[in-house]
Amino acid sequence: MEAMTVPFFSIAGMIFTLICSILVPVFVWIRMEKAWKKSSTAILFGTVGFIVPQLIIRSPVLSVLSAFPFYTAFAQNNTVLFYFLLASTAAIFETAGRLFVLKVFIKKITYKNSVAAGFGHGMSEAVILVGLSTVINLIMSLAINSQLFSLGSSMYQATISLSQEKSSLFFAAGVERIGTMCFHVMITVLLAYFVQKNRTVIGVALCLILHTAVDFVTVTLSGNGVSVWMIEGMILLVGALGVATVAVMRRFFRPEDAQAGSVNQSESV
């Protein structure tokens, strides 16, 4: 049996995604901390707002449910409804995490610490869901190409799919993370604005609608075989709109918050 290797462009795609999902967020974090003093506190709070509701609560529950025949049968027989439930539950749990961070951890909401919290949310998702797996895939790919695994070994069989995957998909994962991180910042800033104005119900409803809509459209297009690059193009567009929205939202926060020189000292976060 001839040994298979992972194509150069697949490895290049992994490196690109590694840059987008880990190195870029780390760079932005460093720049944000230098520009807005003590923003790291809000960023870390934002990571909690993703990790706890999504990874500690929702994902394990879905994993348990997937072991039951009724769940898999429902997913197969009610595809559209199943996609909607996945999208809506992700929106509910993550919005709850955002709201908890804004209401409990951040003592004084400002434009800057809401941006930082949203960035922390998106960054943690990028690093944990994509970055870490990309590191593993890259290591395994280099090991395969260096023939460190003997043909027919369990490790070789477990990683052989890396050599068969389309190279473009490894690039797509990185593109998706950039757009998604921008989206997470946007909906966190929107929620923060409404919480600050004592219109929390409106903010929560808006975030739920936006988050559910983006996730539902994405998973539905993917499930129906739409080109991955059409989907990533849509996510990039959503991310670009998110950046524009965040820039515009600055003027709607209280003047003293928008003009503050930092993610304010001990009273801000």
**DSSP string computed for 83-149:** HHHHHHHHHHHHHHHHHHIIIII-SS--HHHHHHHHHHHHHHHIIIIIIHHHHHHHHHHHHHHTT-S
Rounded to two decimals, the pTM is 0.90
Is the residue at 246 inside a domain? yes
Structure tokens at 128: 């944990």
Report the number of distinct structural domains present in the chain: 1
CA-based nearest residue to 94, from 48, 44, 39? 48
CA distances from 60 to 54, 64, 143, 172, 214 (A): 9, 6, 31, 26, 23
CA-based nearest residue to 92, from 193, 212, 194? 212
Is the residue at 3 inside a domain? no
Is the residue at 2 inside a domain? no
Cβ neighbours, 10 Å, residue 63: 9
Buried b (16+ CB within 10 A) or exposed e, 222-260: eeeeeebeebbebbbebbeebeebbeebeeebeeebeeb
What is the residue range of 249's domain? 8-268
Where residue 152 falls (left for φ over 0; alpha for ψ -120 to 50; beta otherwise) is: left
Q: How far apart are CA 163 and CA 135, in angstroms?
A: 16
Is the residue at 245 inside a domain? yes
Is the residue at 1 inside a domain? no
CA-based nearest residue to 121, from 198, 209, 189? 189
Q: How far apart are CA 240 and CA 252, in angstroms?
A: 19
pLDDT (0 to 100) of residue 248: 96
CA-based nearest residue to 258, from 244, 267, 246? 246
Q: What is the mean pLDDT of each run of 10 residues along the chain (269 residues)?
A: 79 97 97 93 97 97 95 95 97 98 92 97 97 93 80 65 87 96 98 96 97 97 94 97 96 65 39
